[in-house]
Structures are given as structure tokens and as C-alpha cells.
């Protein structure tokens, strides 16, 4: 499965399609994966502008007692965000999930996504995220409570199972479909695998064959060609891209174009990369305020510059500056000095 040449599985005109989840239509079948600490509102807005058909919020705790924190208030701030707004909720108590779903809708959510895919220890130690896959009766109670609590579509994100000996994604998917879940995203790794090794797509294919829900394939999709291969291998309705979008948000445009035409589009120009970065910085400063915005921007700048010429000394400088103005000047200076042809590569 992994060794087939690209030419056998090229993108074509039928691989990029509009998506329908409940009453909502999406322009394409390429989604941004929700990632805690990454997919804040500025990054979602950027990815959607650069081609992502849909994007959910960062994971929000189902414990509404914690919703007064600055972090959660920001995650519930959807001003200026494209519709439909998708809010992802994580937790292990059915009643709390139901209340969080209702409160999310009151805050503007038009689709509620339930997280059963996060492998983070601090989430799994509370029997949330992918830890829930161990307890199928609890999964049923959580999903039933969520679906019954709101009038908007409820979707689900899972992994292939708890560990390589316990891959139960097909059973979970069938249960979810019976309960009324309206779309499913499957990361092709178990909880135990975290992000190690290669994603396995045969489980995703088995899920796609077992249910009539739209299924998004997730895991290791880092190029237009890989997206086309994964769609062919799995039969999924769409692909979900996570880590590959960090520092390369234009990957969505490249994937969408390739799935439509079977041809690769040109990489963004030097000026476009610079402008994308500067616009992203300005949005971060506006969203978080200058002090926090500068701190959040550091990791994004590090991702943008990974593998680029002269990036190491630039990163050493960027982590020391404390003002938005100094950060922007450094970015502009880097692009003014960097070789054009290398930056655009």
C-alpha cells in the first residue's frame, strides 16, 4: 500500500468535492485538523483563506466551570470567523459534554465536534480524548448525550484504536452512525502510537467501508500527492491536515488545486510568503494583545522558517524580542536579505 508510485494514484477532477454536513455545505473536502495551542482563530482564518474547506476550534474542555479562563474565552471567540463555526469539545462525562455542547451553540457554534482522538497524557489521564476508546459503553453515552442536547450537527474525531492490539475504530464508527453523528475524522494511529511511525490507512479504509458517514482521513498528509494517494487508498470523503500546515498554511491551496486538476501549482512567491507571515503576525497581535501575541508568534515564525536559509540565527533573535514592532522589523529584514530563489523554493 505504501510503495505504489505517484503516477498510479494521481489526483484527478473527481477527488476534490464539496462537502455536506447537516445543512452546511463546504467548498471542498480538505480540512484543517484541530490542534491545541495551534489552531487558534487567527490560524483558522488564515488556513481558510488559503484554501481549507473547514476548520474546527482548538479543543475546549467540557467542564464549563473553567470557561472563565482567558484561554477558554479566547477559544470561544468566533468574531470574524467564516461560517459554519465548528467547536471541538473534549471530556468524559456525558452530562458535562451535553452542557458544553449547549453552551457552545449559545456562543455561536454551528457544528459541535467531539474529541476522542487527542493522545496527550494530560487529556488521556482524565479519561478523555483517545482514552475514551477503551470504554465503548461510555463512548455511546457521551455521543447520545451530545446529539440529544443540541439541534446542530454533531461530529466525532477518533484514532484507529487504543493500541495496535485493540483497533476498534470500525465499531466506534458504526456506533456513532447509529447514534446520529453526522461526520467522522479518523487519525490513522492508535493512542499508544501517538505521532510515531507511519500512519496506517487500512483501518481508515475499513471505517469508510463500514459506514455511510462522510469520513475524513487524517495522519501524515503533508503534500498534494499524499492527499491524493490517501483518498484513493482509503475511499475517504476528505482529508484532514494537521502538522503539515504549521508554517505552510498554503498547503491547503496546493492540495485543493492538485485534487481538482492532477497538477501541482507553483509554490508561493517570496513576497507572498512574507505577506502571509506579516498578516498572520498582525492578526495574532490583535487577537491576543501585544505581549501574548508576540509570544504566540514565536512558534509560528519558527515553523515558517524551518529549513529556510539563515533561519537558525534569525530564530535566535526572534525569541528575544519583546515588541510587535521589533518582531515585524526582523521578519522584514530577513526577507530583504534572503536569496529570492531560495525563499520561494
Task: State residue 243 phi and psi, 5-degree precision.
Answer: -60, -30
> β-strand 184-190 against 215-218: which pairing, if any?
parallel
Q: Which residue has the cell 476550534?
A: 57
118 catalytic? Reply is: yes
Kindly report the pTM of this predicted structure.
0.89
Bridge partners (DSSP) of residue 315 are none
Q: Which residue has the cell 468566533?
A: 78
SS3 251: helix
H or E stretch at 88? strand 86-90
Q: Cell numbers of 148, please?
A: 440529544
Q: Cα(294)–Cα(281) distance, rounded to whole angstroms?
A: 8
> β-strand 111-116 against 86-90: which pairing, if any?
parallel
Q: Cα(161)–Cα(168) distance, rounded to whole angstroms?
A: 5
Q: How many C-beta atoms lie closer than 10 Å to residue 62's C-beta?
A: 27
Shared fold status for 6-261 and 270-343:
no
Counting Cα atoms < 13 Å in the Cβ hemisphere of 37 gives 7
Q: Cβ(139)–Cβ(80) under 8 Å?
A: no
Q: How far apart are the first and last CA of the chain?
A: 30
SS3 86: strand
Quote the distance between the C-alpha of residue 64 and its chain's center.
23
Q: Cα(131)–Cα(37) distance, rounded to whole angstroms?
A: 20
Catalytic hit among 118, 124, 193, 208: 118
b/e per residue 206-223 (b: at least 16 CB within 10 A): bbbeebebbbbbbbbbeb
Q: Cell numbers of 156, please?
A: 466525532
> pLDDT value at position 130?
53
> pLDDT value at position 341?
41
The sign one gets for the Cα dihedral 190, 119, 280, 317 is: negative
Q: Cα(102)–Cα(62) distance, rounded to whole angstroms?
A: 10
> pLDDT value at position 193?
53
pLDDT truncated to tens, each residue of the chain (345 aa)? Answer: 333 333 334 444 467 788 899 999 999 999 999 998 999 999 999 999 999 999 999 999 899 998 988 888 899 899 988 899 999 999 989 999 999 999 999 999 999 999 986 655 444 345 555 578 888 999 999 999 999 999 999 999 998 876 666 778 999 999 999 999 999 999 987 655 555 567 789 999 999 999 999 999 999 999 999 999 999 999 999 999 999 999 999 999 999 999 999 999 998 988 899 999 999 999 999 999 999 999 999 999 999 988 888 788 888 888 889 999 999 999 998 888 765 444 433
> pLDDT value at position 307?
84
Bridge partners (DSSP) of residue 156 are 114, 184
Domain 270-343 class? mainly alpha
| Residue 242 preceded by cis peptide, ω within 30 | no
Domain boundaries, given as residue ranges, for the chain: 6-261, 270-343
Domain spanning 6-261, CATH architecture: Alpha-Beta Barrel (3.20)
SS3 58: coil
> pLDDT value at position 125?
43
Amino acid at each position: 500500500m505504501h510503495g505504489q508510485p505517484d503516477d498510479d494514484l494521481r489526483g484527478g477532477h473527481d477527488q476534490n468535492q464539496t462537502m455536506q454536513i447537516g445543512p452546511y455545505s463546504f467548498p471542498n473536502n480538505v480540512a484543517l485538523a484541530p490542534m491545541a495551542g495551534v489552531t487558534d482563530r487567527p490560524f483558522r482564518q488564515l488556513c481558510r483563506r488559503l484554501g481549507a474547506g473547514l476548520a474546527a476550534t482548538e479543543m475546549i474542555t467540557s467542564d464549563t466551570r473553567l470557561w472563565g479562563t482567558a484561554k477558554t474565552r479566547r477559544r470561544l471567540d468566533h468574531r470574524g470567523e467564516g461560517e459554519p463555526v465548528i467547536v471541538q469539545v473534549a471530556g468524559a462525562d456525558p452530562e458535562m459534554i451535553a452542557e458544553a455542547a449547549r453552551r457552545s451553540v449559545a456562543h455561536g457554534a454551528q457544528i459541535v465536534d467531539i474529541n476522542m482522538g487527542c493522545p496527550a497524557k494530560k487529556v488521556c489521564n482524565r479519561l478523555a480524548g483517545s482514552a475514551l476508546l477503551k470504554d465503548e459503553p461510555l463512548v455511546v453515552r457521551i455521543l447520545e448525550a451530545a446529539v440529544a442536547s443540541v439541534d446542530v450537527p454533531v461530529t466525532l474525531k477518533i484514532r484507529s484504536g487504543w493500541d495496535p492490539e485493540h483497533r476498534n475504530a470500525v465499531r466506534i464508527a458504526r456506533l456513532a452512525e447509529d447514534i446520529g453523528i453526522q461526520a467522522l475524522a479518523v487519525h490513522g494511529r492508535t493512542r499508544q502510537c501517538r505521532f510515531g511511525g507511519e500512519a496506517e490507512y487500512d483501518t481508515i479504509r475499513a471505517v469508510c467501508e463500514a459506514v455511510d458517514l462522510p469520513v475524513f482521513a487524517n495522519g501524515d498528509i503533508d503534500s498534494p500527492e499524499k492527499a491524493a494517494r490517501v483518498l484513493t487508498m482509503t475511499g475517504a470523503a476528505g482529508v484532514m491536515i494537521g502538522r503539515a500546515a504549521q508554517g505552510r498554511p498554503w498547503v491547503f491551496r496546493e492540495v485543493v488545486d492538485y485534487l481538482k486538476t492532477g497538477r501541482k501549482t507553483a509554490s508561493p512567491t517570496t513576497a507572498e510568503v512574507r505577506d502571509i507571515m506579516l498578516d498572520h503576525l498582525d492578526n495574532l497581535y490583535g487577537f491576543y494583545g501585544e505581549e501574548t501575541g508576540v509570544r504566540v508568534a514565536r512558534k509560528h515564525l519558527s515553523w515558517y522558517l524551518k529549513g529556510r536559509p539563515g533561519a537558525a540565527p534569525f530564530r535566535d533573535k526572534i525569541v528575544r524580542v519583546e515588541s510587535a514592532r521589533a518582531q515585524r522589523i526582523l521578519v522584514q529584514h530577513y526577507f530583504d536579505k534572503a536569496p529570492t530563489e531560495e525563499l520561494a523554493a
